Amino acid sequence: MTGEGIRQAILDIIEEIVPDEDLSSVDPEKPFRDQIDLDSMDFLDIVMELRKRYSVEVPEQDYPRLLSMSSTVDYLLPKMESL
């Protein structure tokens, strides 16, 4: 999967978790929580969806690497390249 594919996959997951949020102007460098109304349970739902849909394991110590879109794509790209 490409970086753009991962970005779209993340947006699709977030859209399902918080359907009332406007995701059209998500700044890739800003933390998700500064732009989208996500609580800690929503964040865990995102991590669980990644595991369910793409078999990607994100250990708890790596959660800080998923703070923004660009850091999330950078983190997931080597894990999802073969998809």
Q: What is the pLDDT of residues 33-60, one digit of tens each?
A: 999 999 999 999 999 999 999 999 999 9
Q: Could you tell me the residue range of the domain that residue 28 belongs to?
A: 3-80
Domain count, the chain: 1
- For the chain, the distance separating the N- and C-terminal CA atoms, rounded to the nearest angstrom, is 5
Task: Output the six-digit token pair for 61.
Answer: 């110590």
pTM, to two decimals: 0.92
Q: What is the pLDDT of residues 6-33, one digit of tens each?
A: 999 999 999 999 999 999 999 999 999 9
Residue 82: band (very low, low, confident or very high) from pLDDT cuts 50, 70, 90: confident
CATH code where residue 72 lies: 1.10.1200.10
The C-alpha atoms of residue 8 and residue 32 are separated, in whole angstroms, by 14
